[in-house]
Structure 1
Amino acid sequence: MSKDLLDQIPVAFTEPLESFLAWLELERGLSANTLSAYTRDLVQCVEFLVEAGVADWQQVASADVAAWTASLSRAGFARSSQARKLSALRMLAKHLVRENVRKDDVTELLGSPKLSRDLPDVLTREEVERLLNAPSAVSPHGLRDRAILELFYSSGLRVSELCGILLQSINLDEGYVRVFGKGSKERIAPIGSAAVQAVRDYLVGGRPHLVKARTGSEVFLSQQGRAISRKMVWVLVKEHAKRAGIKKPIKPHLLRHSFATHLLEGGADLRVIQEMLGHADISTTQIYTSVQSQRLVDEHALYHPRAKK
């Protein structure tokens, strides 16, 4: 898909952009999904520049970049999307200087959209219990779905990490799984006893029924015997949440948020939670302290006799 996008823009822009994307992949180890997002963002920028009469990267001025960012705001892009697009362009601008394509960083004087961080939704412990018990405990698909949900909640995995787990990456005797997170960074994620049992049940009574002639070593399989897709995981999480009577907006990441919040409520150290989640920056993990603080405020407002106005 990235190559198709690059074919849409002039060669004068394409060659430095291809060099930058190759550097991101080889030196920074960014995932294919992240590279695709950066490609879309930067091609969008180039299309704007070409329409404004700019011929190549050397001709781009700060005013051109400022005009592009202003156009994003007018087009109604969320601030988070604007920030991501600008971040991609900043990284490219630095690369162009390193490669002597330009002498200056054209984005140096630009500000960034101010972001407000929305607190993530989380499930209560009772909602988690209902969700985990929703799949069948006997059918192959039910055993698979239960193992997926248990592992999500037990280990705080991203959906892409869960879909990529291999049989040789999981150690049920020791209670851990090796996963590859953002930027292909490997980490060890612990697995609780309930999730260990659910995965064992699936490997014995579920996975053998889903294996086909060309099945690989992925743990979680589709009906066709291939690695389960992120889209399929999204669908099954929503289906079981509906079956469990959960009214909150549901997505796989909700169990990851619940994992972190419930650990924090139980007294776990924030640095340990950061390591379990695979966050590169502690500030990303700190949002869960805000979730806990907001919950305390809500509980106080609901139950304290002098809280109500």
Structure 2
Amino acid sequence: MAELLNKNLIAAFLEMMAAERGASIHTLDAYRRDLEDYVASLTSQKSDLIAAQDSHLRKYMASLGDASLAPRTQARRLSAVRQFHKFLYADGYRNDDPSAHIDSPRQGSTLPKFLTITEIDHLITTAASHDGIKGKRLLAMVELIYATGMRVSELVELPFSAAARDPQMLIVRGKGSKERLVPLSDPARDALRDYLEIRDAFIPITSSKQPGTSPYLFPSRGKSGHLTRQMFLNMVKDLASEAGIAPSRVSPHVLRHSFASHLLANGADLRSLQQMLGHSDISTTQIYTHVLESRLRGLVQEHHPLAKL
């Protein structure tokens, strides 16, 4: 009985997140995993989502620490539980919120990892040396993600219509189905143009052996209909190894961080960067201020008269 109740409450919460907040499939999957982990802890404590008290939640958080989960991961799971209990309270399933007085785990200030401009150039040069249709696809994807700072999910799910007419700007649909415009560099446009000439080779053939169609810019024969995040991650890791860069240092997210860090280092402002990255809150963009601070110190050293005394 309790198991069915827990499942129904989680399903109701995820439905709300999708309908009212426009949460993506990836976000919903992450919430589901975190809440199922929380429910497993409650079950071991002989409780459920309706009867849970703050003492149960404290034990759950303690178990995450005992399992040596990173503070950031612990904080994410607590955030999911908090949002869930707020939903239960707001919709009348409960008359209290046991998560209201639970403190978040302390997090260190982790700086984003990024590559140098020289390393990015070497990565792109290596991708450009690949022959064939897969080489053109790889170069287009690497150029696009570095030129725009897109999330990997945004890249692999780009619709074909977004890039079908040699655009100078891309319309990217981000978290919460919010759309934003991001400019394309000339190298990215050139790589995209070359890729579009051979894109049809990646579209699955229909059952009647006729040429198929696909709504995605990067189609594939897999279940999703487009190249997956994991496939692109593997492609980037292989490319890094070939370029003489440790694969552990390179990922699609590192390319996004590199885009942001290099823009700031070359004069972009935080507000513009926030728009291009699709951050709803500028506090998220402020993780890159270490780059901005370094540039400002350089400006002071170079131009302030007292710095030269």
Q: TM-score range by the shorter chain?
A: 0.7 to 0.9
Structure 2 SS opposite 1:187: strand
2:132 maps to 139
For the residues of structure 2 that align with 1:276 and 1:156, how far apart are their CA atoms?
A: 7
Q: 1:52 to 1:195 in 2, by over 3 A?
A: same
For the residues of structure 2 that align with 1:229 and 1:57, how far apart are their CA atoms?
A: 34
Alignment RMSD: 2.3
1:32 maps to 25
1:199 maps to 192
Structure 2 SS opposite 1:63: helix
1:177 maps to 170
Structure 1 residue 294, shift from structure 2 partner: 6.3
TM-score (normalised: structure 2): 0.86
Is residue 2:160 matched to residue 1:167? yes
Is residue 2:285 matched to residue 1:285? yes
**1:47 pairs with one of 19, 33, 40:** 40
Is residue 2:87 matched to residue 1:95? yes
Residue type at the aligned position of 1:221? P
Is residue 2:226 matched to residue 1:227? yes
Residue type at the aligned position of 1:231? Q
* Residues 172 and 196 in structure 1, CA contact (< 8 A), matched pair in contact too: no
Structure 2 SS opposite 1:86: helix
C-alpha deviations, 1:145-184, integer Å up to 9, x for none?
Answer: 1111111111111111110112211265441111221222
* Residues 210 and 224 in structure 1, CA contact (< 8 A), matched pair in contact too: no
1:267 maps to 267
Aligned residues between the structures: 289
Is residue 2:9 matched to residue 1:13? no
* Residues 204 and 220 in structure 2, CA contact (< 8 A), matched pair in contact too: no
For the residues of structure 2 that align with 1:211 and 1:201, how far apart are their CA atoms?
A: 16
Residue type at the aligned position of 2:135? G
Note the 1:100-139 alignment, pairs <5 A: 100-135=92-127, 136=129, 138-139=131-132
Structure 1's unaligned 5+ residue stretches are 1-6, 298-309
Is residue 2:264 matched to residue 1:238? no
For the residues of structure 2 that align with 1:129 and 1:162, how far apart are their CA atoms?
A: 20
Residue type at the aligned position of 1:162? L
1:63 maps to 55
TM-score (normalised: structure 1): 0.86
Structure 2 SS opposite 1:10: helix
For the residues of structure 2 that align with 1:82 and 1:103, how far apart are their CA atoms?
A: 26
Structure 2's unaligned 5+ residue stretches are 206-211, 298-309
For the residues of structure 2 that align with 1:53 and 1:137, how far apart are their CA atoms?
A: 58
Structure 1 residue 143, shift from structure 2 partner: 0.9
C-alpha deviations, 1:210-260, integer Å up to 9, x for none?
Answer: 333234131123477952111111111111122221236111111111111
Deviates more, 1:124-133 or 1:14-23: 14-23
Q: 1:122 to 1:292 in 2, by over 3 A?
A: farther
